[in-house]
Every structure is written in structure tokens, then in C-alpha cells.
């Protein structure tokens, strides 16, 4: 039933986007894409995945796991490949939790590590969006959009920073309190782990924004980096919501309606959304290549011992 609802949502949103499209103009926008800039965008996005693996390494070590950066990169890339089969980020996170949970100190800390990693990525996106909106992006956003993005983003960051304090005020049997204090407390209370992971997270988002900017330039959309930071956060969150099939419809609608604020044609916005999707697919397929050639860390040694 849920799958049927997601298909319906994707179909309805794609139909709304299609109503605003001139198909021939959209195809022309795709044909005129700069292959050089697209290739650079893929490379930058791949680099972002390496840094994201570094963030996960910092958190895993803080939880007591012995995870090297190279192991984290391999697992992260392979997890992206398996994530192709499952909508949103569930497949990716499940693969990472499965691998890490198979080593000491076990599955519960591994899941906590994945949760904290995902939450930190989301909060960093919100911070980038809020800073871009507050700084006054070019082209300018409508005042209501700018204020809403700034207030929502900074409120989320403040809530994240004060989570341990607020959770401590809740009843001891509260699930939120147990999650923050028992499951995620080790990360919140270790300044080295929290600071290192935060810096890595900022670098990941910065690289993703650069990748988005390269794609915008490839399509011929001349927007400033601040506006790219703003719409990147919006489209990533929209595409991650578990209400459509693999983000289809939500992602395209977000691109079309947000890019309209910069007076970008729906055809160019749709081309940009398809290019961003293609970057993700190519990166995930690179993960598949890693899986075929070397497998998960530990598997190579196991094969050699047979």
C-alpha cells in the first residue's frame, strides 16, 4: 500500500512538472550540457563521498570501533551501490550498519553511529541553507522565503546543539531522552569527535554545493553560489522524504519551483534535476565497481583463506 502511495505521489508531481515543460526545450537543454563541467561535477561529488566516509570514521572511532578511512571509503561506496535498490537512504544506511555492527562493540553502537551521522548531515544542510538565506543570495529571494529559511535553519541548528540539555529535562522513561543520552550521548559529550565530525560535515556540504554549481554552469544557469547553497538544501531534503519512489517527482518539483525564484526556466531546472540524479547514479555505480573488484573490507582476506 505504501509503495502504491509513493508511486501515486511521484506520478502526480511529475505530471505537475510536465505541465510546465516544453519537451523540445528540455531535450535541447540536455543536449547542450557541457560534458567537461558534468565530469568535474561527478569528480567533486565523489570527493564529497570520501570526506563523508571520513566523518563516519571519526564517529565510529568515537564509539569504540576500529575503522580506518580506507575501510570507511570502501563500505560507504558499496553502501551507495546497494542504496540503489531501496528508496531514500535506507539501503545505504542499512549496509553501513550491517558492516560496522559485525565488529566490536556491536550492532547497537553501530546503529547509533549511523543515526548521528545522518542527523549531522541534515543539520549541516540546514545551516548552509540558513546562512545563504540570511546573507542575501543572488538573485534575491522573496522576503518571506528568506526569513522562513533563516529562522527554520538556525532553529534546527540551535535545537541540535541544545539536544542533550533539552533531553535531560524529559522524563527518564522518555524514548527521546534515552536516544539522546544513552545512544548518542558519547558523540555529544566528546568535543574532539563532535568538532572533527562537524568540520568534515561542513566540507561534505561545501563540496556538494560546488558540484551543484558545476552542474548549473553546465546547463547554462548563471546563479550565484549562495543561491546554489539554498536550493541544494531544499532539493536534497525534498528528494530524501519517504513519500515518493527514490525521490522522483519530489526532486524535480523542488528544482522547478525553487529555481523559478531565480527566473530559471522549468526546462533548465528539469535538466539540472536530471543531471543531479545522474551524478548520484554514476557515483553509486562506482560503488558497484568497488564491490565487484574488492568487496567489503574483510571479504578479500576471507576469500584468500579458502
| Banded pLDDT at 304 (limits 50, 70, 90) | very low
Question: Helices 35-62 & 107-135, crossing angle to 10 degrees?
Answer: 130
Contacts (Cβ under 8 Å, ≥6 apart) of 241: 88, 247, 250
| Banded pLDDT at 243 (limits 50, 70, 90) | confident
More confident residue, 99 or 238: 99
Query: Looking at 88-97, 173-182, 229-238, which range is the least confident one?
Result: 88-97
Give the other-Cβ count within 10 Å of 108's Cβ: 12
Average pLDDT (282-304) is 76
Query: Distances from the Cα of 35 to the Cαs of 31, 110, 214, 219, in angstroms?
Result: 10, 39, 11, 10
For residue 132, what is its C-alpha cell?
545563504
Does residue 7 carry a pLDDT above 70? Answer: yes
Does residue 128 carry a pLDDT above 90? Answer: yes
pLDDT of residue 87: 57
Amino acid at each position: 500500500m505504501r509503495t502504491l502511495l509513493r508511486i501515486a505521489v511521484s506520478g502526480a508531481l511529475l505530471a505537475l512538472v510536465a505541465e510546465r515543460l516544453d519537451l523540445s526545450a528540455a531535450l535541447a537543454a540536455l543536449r547542450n550540457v557541457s560534458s567537461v563541467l558534468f565530469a568535474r561535477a561527478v569528480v567533486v561529488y565523489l570527493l564529497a563521498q570520501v570526506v563523508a566516509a571520513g566523518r563516519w570514521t571519526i564517529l565510529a572511532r568515537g564509539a569504540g570501533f576500529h575503522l580506518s578511512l580506507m575501510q570507511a571509503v570502501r563500505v560507504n561506496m558499496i553502501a551507495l551501490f546497494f542504496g540503489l535498490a531501496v528508496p531514500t537512504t535506507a539501503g545505504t544506511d542499512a549496509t553501513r550498519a550491517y558492516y560496522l555492527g559485525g565488529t566490536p562493540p556491536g550492532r547497537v553502537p553501530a546503529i547509533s553511529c549511523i543515526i548521528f551521522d545522518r542527523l549531522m548531515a541534515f543539520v549541516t544542510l540546514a545551516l548552509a541553507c540558513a546562512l545563504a538565506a540570511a546573507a542575501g543570495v543572488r538573485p534575491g529571494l522573496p522576503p518571506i522565503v528568506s526569513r522562513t529559511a533563516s529562522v527554520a535553519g538556525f532553529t534546527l541548528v540551535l535545537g541540535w546543539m541544545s539536544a542533550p540539555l533539552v533531553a535531560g529535562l524529559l522524563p527518564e522513561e522518555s524514548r527521546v531522552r534515552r536516544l539522546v543520552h544513552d545512544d548518542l550521548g558519547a558523540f555529544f559529550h566528546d568535543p574532539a569527535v563532535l568538532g572533527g565530525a562537524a568540520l568534515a560535515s561542513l566540507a561534505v556540504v561545501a563540496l556538494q554545493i560546488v558540484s551543484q554549481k558545476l552542474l548549473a554552469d553546465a546547463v547554462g544557469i548563471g546563479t550565484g553560489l549562495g543561491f546554489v547553497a539554498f536550493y541544494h538544501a531544499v532539493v536534497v531534503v525534498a528528494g530524501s522524504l519517504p513519500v515518493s519512489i527514490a525521490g522522483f517527482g519530489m526532486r524535480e518539483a523542488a528544482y522547478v519551483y525553487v529555481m523559478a525564484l531565480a527566473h530559471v526556466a522549468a526546462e533548465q531546472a528539469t535538466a539540472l534535476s536530471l543531471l543531479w540524479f545522474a551524478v548520484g547514479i554514476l557515483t553509486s555505480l562506482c560503488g558497484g565497481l568497488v564491490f565487484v573488484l574488492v568487496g567489503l573490507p574483510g571479504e578479500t582476506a576471507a576469500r584468500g583463506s579458502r
